Amino acid sequence: MGLFDNLSKTISQVGDRAKFEADKFQRTTKLQGEINDLKRQIDTNRLEFGDRAIQLYRAGQIQSPTLGELLKALDALQASITLKEEELKRAQADVYIEPATPPPTAGVQQVPISTEPAAQPTSAGAAGPVAGSKFCSNCRFQMPTSAVFCPNCGARQGA
């Protein structure tokens, strides 16, 4: 029966440890939240204090070279923010403009394309290929002799 007693004791210890860790986590999370709330209150009071000091300085009720320098720095930062906001608005308003299609270059093969295949040559010697042209071996489309593929059916021409 010793095995079951040891197992029961181990399970109990694991449960106690888990409960302790859960309670500890809950306490520390609550304290961290309270500390953060107090820090936010300090930040809010500092902002209000600073705003009031600026008002008094501008009204001439406070004479302090240090406050004057800080106020100049704040004004410069505010001006920078204003410029950046205007730049942001312009960037957001930009519209993509499609580039114009460049004309074909001289090195590109120009192949005339027709929707109708050329007339089929007859066996009586009539209507043969025009000088500098040939017929597709697949669809009999008339094309330049330099064409590697037929512009009508796409078949590769002669080896």
pTM: 0.44
**Domain residue ranges in the chain:** 10-93
Question: Mean pLDDT for each consecutive 10-residue tract of the chain (159 residues)?
Answer: 83 92 95 96 95 92 90 94 95 89 64 52 49 85 87 84
Q: What gap in Å lies between CA 24 and CA 42, rounded to an integer?
A: 27
> Phi/psi class of residue 90: alpha, beta or left (left: φ > 0; alpha: ψ in -120 to 50)?
alpha
Distance CA 53, CA 89 (A): 33
Helices (H), the chain: 2-58, 65-93
Is 139 within 8 Å of 118 (Cβ atoms)?
no
